[in-house]
A and B are shown apart, each in its own frame.
Chain A
Amino acid sequence: MKYLPLIWGTLWRKKTRTIFTLLSIVIAFLLYGVLQTVDYAFENPSVGVDGADKLITTNKFSITLLLPFSYGQQIRSVPGIAHVTWMTWFGAYYQESKNFIFAMPIDADSYFSVYRKEFIIDAGQMAAFRKDRQGALVDVALMKKFGWKIGDKLPLHSTIWTQRTNGSLDWTFDIVGSFDARDPTEASQHSSSVFFHYDLFDEGRSFGKGQVGWFEESVDDPAQSAAVSRKIDAVFANSPNETKTQPAKDFTIAFIKQLGDIGFVLHAILAAVFFTLLFLTGNTMMQSVRERIPELAVLKTLGFTDSRILGLVIGESLLLCVFAAVVGLALSYLLMPIVKHGLEGIDLSHGAQPAGVGLAVLLALIVGLPPAVRAMRLNVVDALMDKR
């Protein structure tokens, strides 16, 4: 520690070079912080406050094919199942197709039995929703985005479901209440959600009656999720509509995997960033030591041991890299709200920042070691004679 002022001093020997090198490292770690956090979010999707005990049952053959409504009764009788609810993809937008709305017909009783803790809903508004057939519950952020108020009519265009009465794709609901995610980090996942009544949907649509898109279940014991999933699928094996049941988390991971190997792309970019950074920082450290050869020789003459010289140069490298890395990682942390905005619906609560500091130490050792060894091996007489 007592050498810190010395190391700090040598670092600022060439101000411009140090500043530019610092800035480069800051930028690299800024990218590292952002990309790693995004990567983590994709690999470990959040499944909600009480997501651990949730299962999803879809049509095994195709996610777009429906399942008979009667399956719900059969699933309920599978041992280990606590509650079952059902939903269908409504494919809605508001006014223009770019305003995608995640509108979902739900059966209020069973839905809020499966999702007991997920949402904060005012008891009065919940009661109003249960009473009003045309009623809809809207996410608070979505209400704000479009300036909707309780009592407003909500016209939504479904790209799939025509109405039995007039063949129209335009459905109208009454906003009777709003809901918010209990866990604020999950709020973005619901930021375009609207719930309305399954009964209204099933009776109102012109085709597909008595069929549902998928089932969602909660189990008594989360540790048994996989076993219960297999039991459900066994019930429907060899029927025309075989099912595929998986824990909610696996379902989400599988869906994200379908986007492609995002992890590979992010890691490839980071590899390119750090490869170039290695050169840049390495060059700075080399130059810095080369210029100081006479000074280092003087230190040796004064009685600094070889290992102490080695320590000094590595210390300089560590200071440079770790200091800049911490700044870069801190910046990446501050940038998170912007990234989050761009990646709607993805949880970015996990920080990759601590691991970044470890990487900075590694970088410092790699770029610091060659010049440090060179400094350590200096022959005092030769070095002192060398003007440069």
Chain B
Amino acid sequence: MFKQLFAVSLMSLRTLPQRWGASSVIVIGIAGVVAVLVSVLAMAAGFRHTLADSGRADRIIILRRGSDAELNSNLTRGDIDTIENAAGLKKDAAGRAVLSNEVITVVNIPKLDTGTDSNVTLRGVGLQVLKVRPELTIIEGRMFRPGVRELIAGAGAAKQFRGLTVGSVLHMRNADWTVTGIFTSHGDVHESEVLADVDTVGSAIERTANYSSAVGLLTDAAAFDRFKDALTTDPQLKVDVEREPDYYAAQAKELTKIITIVGNTVAVIMAIGAMFGALNTMYSAVDARGLEIATLRAIGFGAAPVLLSVMIEALVLSFLGGALGGGLAWLFFNGHSVSTLGAFAQVVFQLTVTRTLLIEGVLWACVIGVLGGLFPALRAARLPVAEALRAA
């Protein structure tokens, strides 16, 4: 059985080049499906990746209770003082809480390619920011100085929005701000933002002694419950405490879901189309090999090896198509930087063609191949031997 299967399959694959015109329909049809699927899902993966990377399990974000997002939230100086003294929060060598009180606003900055105004997050950060976010690295220029109208731009923002280069000046609300540096932070969401000193931002937008959020490091991730309880049971304080990964995962959920649904729907519809193409190809392959198959059956090859050989041919072709499609998606779009509107502000992210996506693409290809090969394979196996031989 296996010997027969091997012989028949090898034979059909060897004659593939003669049927290349028709066979290319499977390969190219499936490559199209997989390329679209992988590229669209790479958007979702990139977006999720960017937001997921914004968190550490031992980093917490505190918002006013019921606010859901930093832009809506409001914390007073008194709230910040209480939070700084809560048990479980990390202290630095000098005994100060590793907590950054932050003010978030969105500012209009034109996009580089289209020139249209975009909502870019301007985040005022506290003095402890580098201890709270140790991954923040200045890759060009220098850090801003507190008390001066200086800002640093995330590497992603610098790539997408106008005037975010070291030394350039941004005119915002009747004042000039100098870009002093470009930073990276492990490709997380903050790379889409511009950062400046919290009090300087606060005075620019007339929001002093009043903050959007507080971001801090815990002594360790296990201290979360203790810390959260301390804050949420305090009757003076109305806050929500969330682990940073949870907060950003919730922010990513909606858009990721939409992209995934749209991507999968389009791909399913395309896959149905490609399956018809595969059916066409395999039926014509079986027709073209009618004499050959009948001869094999006449000299004693079983129906099963013939059936399987047709399936194997379909699988090989669809696998090639899947690999080609995934490869094209990777070649053209992996690392391609785009930006979209997160909740209210732009999030810059890169399309990420992950290994899982490539495997998913090839799996889709194989499913299309199996479905497209099955009926032609059945026809091949059922081919009336005598008739087929006579017809030739």
Contacts and interface: CB of A to CB of B under 8 A. Distances in A.
A24 B269 CA distance: 10
A17 B72 contact: no
B283 A16 contact: yes
Binding site of A, secondary structure by majority: helix, strand, loop or mixed?
helix
Contacts of A258: 116, 118-119, 340-341, 346
Interface string B218-245: 0000000000000000000010000000
A258 B118 CA distance: 6
Contacts of A21: 276, 280
B21 A283 contact: yes
B166 interface: no
Interface residues on A, range: 35 or more
Contacts of B274: 24, 276
Contacts of A342: 261
Q: Which of A60, A167, A272, A273 has the most B CB atoms < 10 Å from its CB?
A: A272
A302 interface: no
Contacts of A61: 107-108, 172-173
Interface stretch (B30-38, B85-93, B149-157): B30-38
B28 interface: yes
Contacts of B69: 159
A142 B105 CA distance: 31
A173 to B, nearest CB: 18
B108 A167 contact: no
A157 B269 contact: no
Interface in B334-370: 338-341, 344, 346
Contacts, number: 144
B338 A261 contact: yes
Contacts of B106: 62-64
A265 interface: yes
B105 A64 contact: yes
Q: Which of B24, B25, B339, B344 has the most A CB atoms < 10 Å from its CB?
A: B25
Interface in B1-42: 21-22, 24-25, 28-29, 31-33, 35-36, 39-40
Interface in A60-88: 60-65
B296 interface: no
Contacts of A27: 269-270, 272-273, 276
Contacts of B340: 258-260
B285 to A, nearest CB: 12
A65 B205 contact: yes
A159 B25 contact: no
A287 interface: yes
A268 B40 CA distance: 10
B136 interface: no
A62 B344 CA distance: 11
Given A23-B272, A97-B68, A283-B280, 5 more contacts: A20-B279, A35-B266, A240-B174, A258-B346, A276-B273
27 contacts: A16-B283, A17-B280, A21-B280, A23-B276, A24-B273, A24-B277, A31-B266, A35-B266, A60-B108, A62-B107, A64-B344, A157-B66, A160-B72, A169-B66, A238-B174, A239-B174, A257-B116, A258-B116, A268-B39, A269-B266, A272-B270, A273-B32, A276-B32, A276-B274, A280-B29, A287-B22, A342-B261
Interface of B: 21-22, 24-25, 28-29, 31-33, 35-36, 39-40, 43, 65-69, 71-72, 74, 105-108, 114, 116-119, 122, 172-174, 205-206, 238, 261, 266, 269-270, 272-274, 276-277, 279-281, 283-284, 338-341, 344, 346
Interface of A: 16-17, 20-21, 23-24, 27-28, 30-31, 35, 60-65, 91, 97, 157, 159-160, 162, 167, 169, 207, 238-242, 244, 254-255, 257-261, 265, 268-269, 272-273, 275-277, 279-280, 283-284, 286-287, 342
